[in-house]
Amino acid sequence: MPEYKYFIGIDASLNTLDLCALDTEEKIITEKRFSQTKEEFNKILEYLQTIGNPQDLAIGIESTGSYHINILTFLISKDYHITLLNPLLVKNFKRGSTLRKTTTDKISAKTIATFLLKNPDKIKNYTATDSTKLLGREHEIIAQEIAKLKNRIKQITFNIFNELTSRYNILTKTMLEFLLTVPSARIARELGQEKITEIIKEISRGKGRKVKLTTAEIMGIAYNTISIDDDNREEILKSCIKRLLKLEEELDTIKPKFIEKVNTHHQEPMNILTSVPGIGNLSAANFIAEMPTIDTITSHKKIIAGTGIDPIIQESGKFKGQYRISKRGNRHLRRTIWQMTMGTIWYTHTFRIYYERKRKQGMKHKKAVIATANKLLRVLYILLTRKITFSDIHHSNLPPIPAPILHS
């Protein structure tokens, strides 16, 4: 490990960058504030050059949303080695170093510099990783927005076109298009039988677009309903449907691009992960994109800890706490692993049996899924490090698995 002469902490926020430089005696050389502009970035570079050569400087930047990325990328492009720090590490270090609760940008910059000085083993050169994972995260954000909109649409339709929600799946594309024109029982009554028939015929045009509902059914609902008449809810429903249809188009565009990009650079890991029944292309791509060290994994325990599904227990004196997961890792990766685990419980005999065994041992559903996730990660570690597919170690034909009953 190189011997550094100076330790520099940089705290990034929306408009400013605070820099603190310490020497090996923990003496403050300087504290400076810069703006997030190109001119100020060049001033930071000039200042770093006055302190010493790049190899003499240990520079740490706290990972803070998106505000640190520009200065991080800039300094890496100028051949400076940067340590990107998890905010939790810095927070815990500060908590253990002082009782003061006051936090300012200057204090944060000094804390980062001090952390590097006191923890030389944590100084690791950050390599700018592929930003493909941002596509995966955008897909996740859009999917969450879509789920919220679907719930909103069902709630509003329940109020103004009640019986329609119990008889049909109103979230199909043809039904959503129908509701754009006929958003309520009130509107159906106003349009009348002849116009409703025209609307259904228009929506049904095209291959695979046959609408199951009939004019008679719609009019029957319209005149025998507990729905309320509310033109404001009608406008909100149409607005939600338009946004939903637009977001679904965006999702259909992003998903194949994301999977293709990951598959292009990580084809072997993709093939290995998707060899496990229940792990699809999207989950595999998210797993790989969120793990920049996918090709150099040294331990399955690091994956478990890095995702925050490692168990912890809090005890104090005679009090014995309950086990729970730490949730200290990458939440995007944690969500992906949950989805992968649920898929393997449904479609892979090995993991289904393991899950059921944990349930019989008295574990609740979530705890049994977490236990299964840990087993899945151990298996994936073996597959990825040995570069073999799941079928390579499971030669027997597995019997079909009935849909599991996942108790709460």
Q: Residue range 259-267: average pLDDT?
A: 92
Distance CA(145)–CA(217), nearest Å, equals 32
> Which of 122, 150, 176 is a domain's end point?
122
Question: Looking at residue 180, which CATH number applies to its domain?
Answer: 1.10.287
Residues 186, 223 within the same domain? yes
Pair (115, 191) in one structural domain: no
Q: What pTM, to 2 d.p., does this model score?
A: 0.73
Q: Residue 180: give the domain boundaries.
A: 134-257
Whole-number pLDDT of residue 314:
53
Reported as a single tens digit per residue, the pLDDT across 312-360 is 555 555 545 555 555 566 788 889 999 999 999 999 999 999 999 999 9
Residue 404 maps to a domain: no
Helix (H, G, I), strand (E, B) or coil at 302: helix
Euclidean distance between CA atoms 34 and 194, whole angstroms: 69
Q: How many Cβ atoms are within 10 Å of 89's Cβ, its own excluded?
A: 16
Number of domains in the chain: 3
Who has greater pLDDT, 100 or 74?
74
User: pLDDT for 3-23, tens place per residue?
Assistant: 899 999 999 998 999 999 999
Looking at the structure, tell me whether residues 85 and 189 fall in a common domain.
no
pLDDT of residue 110: 93
Q: Residues 252, 314: one domain?
A: no
Q: Which of 209-218, 245-254, 333-342 has the least mean pLDDT?
A: 209-218
The mean predicted confidence, pLDDT, of the chain is 85
Is the predicted pLDDT of residue 395 greater than 60, yes or no?
no
Tens-digit pLDDT profile for residues 132-142? 888 998 999 99
pLDDT at 96: 61
pLDDT digits 0-9 by tens, 97-120: 654 544 555 678 999 999 999 998
- Domain assignment present for residue 128? The answer is no
> What CATH number did the domain enclosing 37 receive?
3.30.420.40
Do 172 and 239 have their domain in common? Answer: yes
Same domain, 214 and 284: no
Is 147 in the same domain as 212? Answer: yes
Residue range 33-45, pLDDT digits in tens: 999 999 999 999 9
The verdict on 116 and 13 lying in the same domain is yes
The answer to whether residue 365 is domain-embedded is yes
What are the residues facing 32 on neighbouring strands?
A: 19
Q: Which residues pair with 33 in a beta bridge?
A: 18
